Amino acid sequence: MTKPKPRTTASPHHQVIQGTIHIHSKGFGFVTPSDPSLFPEDVFIPKHLKKNAVDGDFVEIAINSDKKSEKGPEGYVLSITKRAKEQLVGIVWIINPKGNYVLYVQSLGDAKSAFVRKKNGISYEIGDRLLLNVLDWGDENAPVLCEVMEKIGTIYDTESDIPAAVKDFGIRAEFPPHLVKIAKKLPKKVPKEDLSGRLDLRDLETFTIDPTTAKDFDDALSLSKDEKGYHLAVHIADVSHYVKEGSPFDDEAKLRSNSTYFPGECVPMLPEALSNHLCSLKEKELRLTISVLVDFDLEGNQLRSKIEKAYIYSQKRFTYEEAKEVLDGKIKSPYLPTLQLMEELCLLLKKKRSERGSVDLALPEVVIQVDKKGEPYGYQVVEYDITHQLVEEFMLKANEIVAEYFVKRSESAVFRIHEVPSQENLEEFYALARSLGFPLNAKPSQEDVQKLFTLAKQSPHIHRLSVAFIRSMKLAIYSHQNVGHYGLALENYCHFTSPIRRYSDLVIHRLLFDKTPPPNLEEIARTCSEKERTSFKAEVSVVLMKKLRLLSAYQKEDPSRIYKGVLSKIKPFGFFFEVEPLQFEGFIHISDLRDDFYEFNQKIQTLIGQNTGKSFKMGDPLEIVLSEIDLITLECKWILLQDVSKKPKSKKKKSFYKHTFKKKTSRKSRKKS
């Protein structure tokens, strides 16, 4: 069937709006309206109706009021108003017989390739990473045409992974020279005059709990208990004391909006003199804070709270692992009683959060370990244990209290909002849960979903369910309009606890004590949301590359290495699975199942062998072997362990398949053609 051509004008009854388009790896996109008052929802843009828009472009679209897909309101791109960037990062993929270059460009979405003409005296090799300037964005019949600005490195050099991502996503990695000079003049210790007018909390037993690799310490905790209940203090670094609105530090922080964290390296929002030193709540150092002091009764019910400018003295810097060992009795510490109290209060607060319907996904995190050159040598699975939970619960409570402070006073703020997901997306998740054997009534409540995840925690399906639930929800964003937080089941929520690494939190700190809010809160919120998404994509791109490098190293070490996986998604053309414990998504095409010929049963979402009756369905465990890996296209070829020694099926029998999937040819075959 011929797909309709992209429109250039809108139908008379189709509403026209502008917004930022976010392109999915499969080619389709969503447009976030620049003015929510004109249209409040993201608009789905099918792959064939996005023209040549790429991720982050500012576009003009028309909303098709006659059509609404399962992904929400549907529209089509009329024009690209402003390109997100004029420079791209590509990898030399093919060198054609004339010496021209085809580059693989991940950020181009489904197109993924750009063309560079040969220049006399300049040559590049397969795998070179190049910074490109776009000359012509092309169209459906012509490729993106570029010129080379500089060579960043090569795909075979691990040290170029982060510089490539920084340039590709427009991350500001270097601070301007004038800012570096100002930072060098900052005091090494907090001046005595800065303590004036602040609450002295140095007598409180105070410590931090952070990852082993952390260098910027935003938060510290104090907790005591008496016959009346618990007395919690959440101390947050007072960055606003040093980074004044409109100052050079503020101007740069606003442009960055957040810190970006790569494996083994951080691109900070603020210069290290502030982020790692003067503002950081370091052990045995006097530091300025904004502290949330909150009292609870013995059942964990909040009684009263206040927010104070203060100064503290952190006695101890705990890592999560060390704090856990203290609680487990593996090492002795004078802070054991306080850590035990924190565990007590944490469990009380978690119970209350659960009762109101907050969904606790609590997924383990895979941290890729790299050496000084960025070469991955292993990974660590970080479990969401009690030490992580107690820090999170206390931060959530502080954020909630601060948000309520603004709401009660009807004052402006930047809220962290999470809108209710569409019913269509939720129904898709409910169907998955039921197919995996979890009981859900016809119209599940948020509390029912929370109970589902409590039940699923010991199930092999927990990760699949968690990922599916996350995908069913809308993104949490920043907004000057408070609509509540669906995931946390809170009416009021903001980000307050990380001003060293998030500009939104820094703005909140200022608003607490400066009663004249800046006139551009809406713009600040929108920028923080967009920059957060950009940083996340940059981080994910580098983590993916490090995982691929690790898999490549494992393959060279042992080509027959066996991996375990869990089948996560069934399609007519094959199935997706998660490689454990790397949290890496793999795929096996139906033509690579060598023991039988499989048909897709859509009703039960299962691939079934015609002769053996063997089936593949969601949640099935797999044993797989990595056959091929391509660091340029980020593609892996996997084979089921049972099929490793078998020959591929005859191509003549391909007509047995009810569904086929056009696979990309290998890079080698493309080069020959």
pLDDT > 90? residue 80 = yes
CATH number for the segment(s) 558-640:
2.40.50.140
Could you read off the pLDDT of 322-340 as tens digits, one per residue? 999 999 999 999 999 999 9
Cα–Cα distance between 486 and 473 in angstroms, integer? 9
CA–chain centroid gap for 637, Å, is 25
Cα–Cα distance between 669 and 215 in angstroms, integer? 48
Could you read off the pLDDT of 540-563 as tens digits, one per residue? 999 999 999 999 999 999 999 999
Cα–Cα distance between 515 and 298 in angstroms, integer? 35
What pLDDT does residue 605 have? 84
pLDDT > 60? residue 661 = no
pLDDT > 60? residue 654 = no
Residue 406: in which H helix or E strand, if any? helix 386-408
Could you read off the pLDDT of 257-275 as tens digits, one per residue? 999 999 999 999 999 999 9
Q: Is the CB of residue 464 less than 8 Å from the CB of residue 568?
A: yes
Topology adopted by domain 87-156: OB fold (Dihydrolipoamide Acetyltransferase, E2P) (2.40.50)
State the angle between helix axes of 521-557 and 503-513 in degrees (0 to 180), rounded to the nearest 10: 150
Could you read off the pLDDT of 17-35 as tens digits, one per residue? 999 998 887 788 999 888 8
What pLDDT does residue 668 have? 33
68-72, 594-598, 616-620: the lowest-pLDDT one: 68-72
Q: How much is the average pLDDT of 586-614?
A: 91
First and final C-alpha spacing in the chain: 28
What pLDDT does residue 265 have? 95
What pLDDT does residue 673 have? 34
What pLDDT does residue 330 have? 97
As separate numbers, helices (DSSP H) first and strands (DSSP E) second, the chain gives 13, 31
Q: For the chain, what's the residue count?
A: 673
pLDDT > 80? residue 201 = yes
What pLDDT does residue 659 have? 29
pLDDT > 60? residue 649 = no
Residue 77: in which H helix or E strand, if any? strand 72-82
What pLDDT does residue 623 have? 95
72-86, 200-214, 420-434, 520-534: the lowest-pLDDT one: 420-434
On the 0-12 / 13-18 / 19+ scale of CB atoms within 10 A, 423 is exposed
CA–chain centroid gap for 438, Å, is 28
pLDDT > 70? residue 384 = yes
Could you read off the pLDDT of 107-135 as tens digits, one per residue? 887 767 899 998 888 899 999 999 999 99
Q: Is the CB of residue 263 less than 8 Å from the CB of residue 370?
A: yes
Q: What is the 3-state secondary structure (H, E, C) of 89-133?
A: EEEEEEECCCCCEEEECHHHCCCCEEEECCECCECCCCCEEEEEE
Asked, colleague to colleague, whether 14-82 and 558-640 share their fold, the answer is: yes
Q: Choose among 47, 534, 630: nearest CA to 256.
A: 534
Topology adopted by domain 14-82: OB fold (Dihydrolipoamide Acetyltransferase, E2P) (2.40.50)
Q: How far is CA 246 from CA 250, 291, 333, in A?
A: 6, 24, 45
What pLDDT does residue 442 have? 83
Q: How much is the average pLDDT of 473-502?
A: 95
What pLDDT does residue 329 have? 97
**Per-position DSSP letters for 488-551, written without gaps between them:** TTBSS----S-TTTBHHHHHHHHHHH-SS--TTHHHHHHHHHHHHHHHHHHHHHHHHHHHHHHH
CA–chain centroid gap for 13, Å, is 37
What pLDDT does residue 372 have? 94
Cα–Cα distance between 111 and 93 in angstroms, integer? 14
Cα–Cα distance between 393 and 222 in angstroms, integer? 14
Q: Is the CB of residue 308 less than 8 Å from the CB of residue 293?
A: yes
How is the chain split into domains, by residue range? Answer: 14-82, 87-156, 177-420+474-540, 558-640
Q: Provide the pairing of β-strand 101-104 with 113-116.
A: antiparallel
What pLDDT does residue 8 have? 61
This prediction has a pTM of 0.88
Q: How much is the average pLDDT of 492-505?
A: 98
What pLDDT does residue 646 have? 62
What pLDDT does residue 2 have? 42
Q: How much is the average pLDDT of 413-417?
A: 97
CB within 8 A of 403, min separation 6: which ones? 413, 415, 416, 482, 490, 492, 493, 494, 496
Q: Choose among 411, 472, 525: nearest CA to 36.
A: 525
Cα–Cα distance between 295 and 345 in angstroms, integer? 11
Q: Is the CB of residue 89 less than 8 Å from the CB of residue 112?
A: no
